[in-house]
């Protein structure tokens, strides 16, 4: 049979300035692109495997996992297929069906799905209201107290380090201290932080951390990182009864080819780039200031920004859309003419964007472009 055309080209998204926060931290390094080619065949990292993926010496996966564990401040690191698989594995190892876990109100949908797949009950810690949607240690403490007052056990606390809706950076350390005080393990979801900003599980008092290679660690993916303290190794890295060397929650082996090779190739670069995080934050704050000078644009989430993911309320674009012959599509199309992509087609009321990794000139150009589009129609 003849296959259809699958449209496997992405030059438009790659060659323009892509503002989609999802895309900013997953750009491959030159070395990662080489590794991607080198390890493009199936099972390509398994040539010299003696039964354990994490112990492979060539390519140096075991050395890589040691470096990774040091980088994120944990005793053991494993790769998984994404942050979600890491969360699922921890929940599956620690909890029984019908157990209750505490999650924050800004949790990613994959937290809910991982918990559902494990048949867990979730209790949400609510954020404060519009426009901040802040998650506070006080609210965490209140929710925990209420649970314990009802005599309910809690198997796990899952905190989103930086959420994907508002880009709010939570006070993980304070919440980690509370978790420790109550003796409940804490899993910190660092999909939007690990690889962008310094994450040290030890100082944040997290028992587990998960990260996302394709989101924030310059890897092709799908690949995630799971880090844990030694005291949990027996539970989470438990071996099979039938195949003694294999770890059950990893289903034996996780990433078996190109995705892990790209993460390995990018690690030295990622270790360096988190040191420049303060510059990224400053650039983001300046960008927000410029955007808010455009009438009616308002940043949602905690101010000033502590992360590159910015959510903007943009009624001014919505008003233009009402009269524009192309309706809501005008914004996407006007941006595209200026080689800017990554805002969803048709979306004008609000959008999320990020300038992570762009230089100052590019960032200024982006802010200026939005201002010019508003001017053009006023």
Ligand X SMILES: *Cc1c(COP(=O)(O)O)cnc(C)c1O
**Residue numbers at the binding site for ligand X (CB under 6 A):** 82-84, 108, 110, 160, 163-164, 189, 191-192, 212, 215, 224
Which of 222, 252 has the CB closer to ligand X? 222
Dihedral, CA atoms, 45, 51, 54, 60, nearest 10 degrees?
Answer: -50
Based on CB atoms, which residue is closest to ligand X, 32 or 321? 32
CB of 211 to ligand X, least distance (A): 8
**Of all residues in this chain, which one has the CB nearest to ligand X in the complex?**
82
CB of 31 to ligand X, least distance (A): 21
- Smallest distance from ligand X to CB 11, Å: 24
**To the nearest whole angstrom, how small is the minimum distance from the Cβ of residue 305 to ligand X?**
16
Choice between 84 and 294, CB closer to ligand X? 84
Sign of the CA dihedral with 75 first, then 79, 82, and 84 last: negative
> Could you tell me which of 304, 302, 313 has the C-alpha nearest to residue 284?
304
- Tell me how far apart the alpha carbons of residues 265 and 127 are, in angstroms, rounded to a whole number: 38
Cβ distance to ligand X smaller for residue 191 or 263: 191
To ligand X, the closest distance from the beta carbon of 70 in angstroms equals 21
Query: Least distance (Å) from ligand X to the CB of residue 166?
Result: 11
The dihedral region occupied by 157, where left means phi > 0, alpha psi between -120 and 50, and beta the remainder, is beta
**Cα 11 to Cα 24: distance, rounded to the nearest angstrom:** 16
- Minimum distance, C-beta of residue 84 to ligand X, in the bound complex (Å): 3
Phi, psi of 321 (to 5 degrees): -60, -35
Q: Which residue, 82 or 185, has its beta carbon nearer to ligand X?
A: 82
Q: How far is the CB of 259 from ligand X (least distance, A)?
A: 11
3-state SS, residue 9? coil
Q: Which long-range CB contacts under 8 A does 198-201 form with residues at least 24 apart?
A: 198/274, 198/275, 198/277, 199/72, 199/73, 199/161, 199/274, 200/72, 200/73, 201/72, 201/73, 201/74, 201/227, 201/229
CB of 48 to ligand X, least distance (A): 28
Judged by CB, which is closer to ligand X: 191, or 274?
Answer: 191
The smaller minimum CB distance to ligand X, of residues 89 and 93, is found at 89
In the complex, minimum distance from the CB of residue 312 to ligand X, in angstroms, rounded to a whole number: 18
* Token pair belonging to 178: 């509370």
Q: Does residue 205 contact residue 179 with C-beta atoms inside 8 Å?
A: yes
Between CA 9 and CA 12, with CA 11 as vertex, the angle to 5 degrees is 110
Q: How far is CA 114 from CA 53, 96, 370, in A?
A: 24, 13, 38
Q: For ligand X, give the closer residue by CB, 164 or 301.
A: 164
Of residues 22 and 49, the one with the C-beta less far from ligand X: 22
Q: What letters, b where the CB count within 10 A reaches 16 and e where it falls short, cover 190-205?
A: bbbbbbbbebebeebb
Residue with Cβ nearer ligand X (77 or 335): 77
Q: Cα separation of 75 and 87, whole Å? A: 17
Query: Is the separation of the CB atoms in 193 and 216 below 8 Å?
Result: yes
Please state, in angstroms and rounded to a whole number, the distance separating the CA atoms of residues 308 and 26.
Answer: 14
Q: Are 72 and 127 in contact (CB under 8 A)?
A: no
């Amino acid at each position: 049979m003849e296959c259809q055309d699958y449209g496997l080209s992405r030059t438009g998204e790659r060659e323009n300035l892509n503002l989609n926060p999802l895309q900013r931290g997953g750009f491959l390094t030159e070395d990662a692109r080489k590794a991607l080619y080198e390890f493009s065949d199936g099972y390509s990292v398994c040539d010299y495997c003696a039964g354990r993926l994490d112990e492979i010496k060539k390519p140096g996966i075991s050395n890589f996992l040691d470096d990774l564990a040091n980088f994120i401040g944990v005793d053991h690191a494993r790769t998984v297929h994404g942050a979600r698989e890491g969360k699922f594995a921890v929940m599956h190892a620690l909890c029984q069906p019908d157990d209750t876990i505490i999650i924050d109100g800004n949790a990613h949908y994959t937290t809910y799905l991982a918990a559902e797949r494990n048949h867990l009950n979730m209790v949400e810690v609510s954020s404060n209201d519009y426009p901040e949607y802040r998650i506070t240690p006080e609210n965490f403490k209140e929710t925990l107290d209420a649970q314990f007052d009802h005599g309910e056990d809690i198997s796990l606390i899952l905190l989103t380090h930086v959420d994907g809706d508002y880009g709010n950076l939570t006070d993980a350390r304070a919440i980690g201290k509370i978790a420790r005080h109550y003796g409940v393990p804490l899993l910190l979801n660092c999909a939007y932080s690990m690889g962008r900003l310094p994450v040290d599980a030890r100082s944040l008092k997290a028992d587990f951390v998960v990260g996302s290679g394709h989101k924030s660690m310059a890897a092709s993916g799908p690949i995630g990182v799971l880090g844990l303290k030694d005291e949990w190794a027996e539970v989470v890295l438990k071996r099979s009864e039938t195949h003694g060397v294999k770890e059950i929650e990893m289903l034996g082996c996780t990433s078996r080819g190109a995705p892990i090779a790209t993460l390995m190739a990018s690690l030295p670069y990622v270790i360096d780039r988190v040191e420049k995080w303060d510059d990224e934050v400053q650039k983001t704050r300046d960008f927000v200031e410029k955007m808010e000078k455009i009438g009616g644009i308002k940043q949602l989430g905690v101010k000033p920004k502590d992360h590159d993911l910015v959510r903007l309320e943009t009624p001014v674009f919505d008003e233009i859309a009402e009269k524009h012959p192309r309706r809501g599509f005008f914004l996407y199309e006007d941006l595209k003419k200026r080689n800017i992509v990554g805002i969803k087609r048709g979306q004008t009321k609000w959008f999320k964007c990020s300038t992570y990794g762009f230089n100052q000139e590019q960032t200024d150009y982006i802010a200026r472009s939005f201002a010019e589009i508003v001017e053009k129609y006023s």
